[in-house]
Amino acid sequence: METNPPKRRDNKKSLRVKVISLGNAEVGKSCIIKRYCEKRFVPKYLATIGIDYGVTKVQVRDREIKVNIFDMAGHPFFYEVRNEFYKDSQGVLLVYDVGLRESFDALDSWLGEMKQEMGSQANMDSIVFIVCANKEVKMSASCLCRAARASTRCFRYAHTHTLSQPLPQDTEGRSERHVFVLSQAFFSSITDMCENGGKRPVAEVSMAFTKEQADTIRRIRNSKDSWDMLGVKPGATREEVNKAYRKLAVLLHPDKCVAPGSEDAFKAVVNARTSLLKNIK
Ligand code: GTP
Ligand code: MG
């Protein structure tokens, strides 16, 4: 008697997703993807010709996610090749070089190109975007400041464009940790979206800022002098100045605050404290 072949294991738990990478030439898209899919770092710049392809598997909860990554060439010359690959993406890796302001500003036009190529069917709401500030290697004090500023810009950008789950940290191609974070947060979001019928679930990471932060920035902008800025009376002691400073620093630090103007307000507070302490014995 012929027996039925054993049933193949239920495939419901596996998911295939398409991810594309966008960003200017040489910002490090291919490096991140190679590091992630092939566990190797490529120090030499080899421009992607049109499109490159990476494949990997990740585990999100009880699901195996098969990931097809289409790595776009950033050079405008390859527009005619890459424009075919925008459709049906579930995830987009937007990459910029933390040392090149123009590569960050260019992210808008990359999103514009994507929308244009997806045409009237474009539903950007059902795609998970991630913004990667790449290439921070040396961690000197100035690099840390730059990285913090980049993170804040990145948050604001993501907030303005209602992108889901941006990662504020520098997704430095060489770091396993960052690549790991990238994969987990990003692919969890894509999986959540798929499980939610293509709709974006409420983000766990809040991009919002508080009324207290917004009010404090406004107050700092309108303050008449350094005492006023720190919210202490003229003639306050060193301890009082430091206490007020610490409170404002916690509230407005670029790592913590995504409210517009927080970076300038934070700098102003640092300067106000320095100038007051100089004159207090
Ligand atoms: P196109 O394919 O032309 O669009 O460029 P791309 O964005 O794919 O750039 P690619 O990944 O080829 O990297 C460009 C250069 O940046 C290479 O020389 C890399 O070695 C270098 N690079 C990438 N990531 C990092 C990083 O995190 N730190 C440093 N220092 N260099 C990096
Ligand atoms: Mg490339």
Report the chain (281 residues): mean pLDDT per 10 consecutive residues.
Answer: 47 82 93 82 85 89 90 94 89 86 90 87 78 67 63 64 50 49 74 79 58 89 94 93 93 78 89 92 76
Does residue 24 form part of some domain?
A: yes
CB-based contact 20:69 (threshold 8 Å): yes
Does 8 map to a domain?
A: no
Residue whose CA is at the smallest distance from ligand 1 atom 31: 135
In a domain, 1, yes or no: no
In a domain, 84, yes or no: yes
Q: Both 154 and 228 in a single domain? A: no
Residues 120 and 224 in one domain: no
Find the residues whose C-beta lies inside 6 A of ligand 1.
23, 25-31, 42-48, 73-75, 134-135, 137, 172-174
Residue 211 has a pLDDT of 82
Among 151, 172, 196, give the residue marking a domain's end: 196
Same domain, 189 and 229: no
Q: State which ligand 1 atom lies nearest to the alpha carbon of 41.
A: 20
Ligand 1 center from residue 121 Cα (angstroms): 32
User: Are 110 and 221 contained in the same domain?
Assistant: no
Tally helices (H) and strands (E) across the chain: 10, 5
Residues 265 and 172 occupy one common structural domain = no
- 47 and 82 in a common domain: yes
In a domain, 203, yes or no: no
Q: Which residues pair with 59 in a beta bridge?
A: 64
User: What range does the domain containing 266 cover?
Assistant: 211-279
Ligand in closest contact with the CA of 73: 1
Same domain, 108 and 243: no
User: CA–CA separation, 88 vs 226, rounded Å?
Assistant: 54
Q: Quote the pLDDT of residue 138.
A: 52
For residues 192 and 221, membership in a common domain is answered with no
Rounded to two decimals, the pTM is 0.67
Residue 201 DSSP class: P
CA of 34 to the centre of ligand 2 (A): 10
164 and 260 inside one domain: no
ipTM of the complex as predicted = 0.97
Closest CA to ligand 1's atom 29: 135
State the total domains in the chain. Answer: 2
How many alpha carbons lie under 13 Å from residue 171 in its C-beta half-sphere?
Answer: 30
Cα–Cα distance, 205 to 184 (Å, whole number): 14
Cβ(67)–Cβ(212) under 8 Å? no
Torsion of CA 56, 60, 61, 65, to 10 degrees: -50
DSSP at 85: G
Whole-number pLDDT of residue 173:
46
* 206 within a domain of the structure (yes/no): no
Q: Domain containing 80 — which CATH number? A: 3.40.50.300
2: in domain: no
Q: What is the CATH number of the domain that holds 219?
A: 1.10.287.110
Would residue 263 count as lying in a domain? yes
| Position in ligand 1 atom list of the atom nearest CA 44 | 18
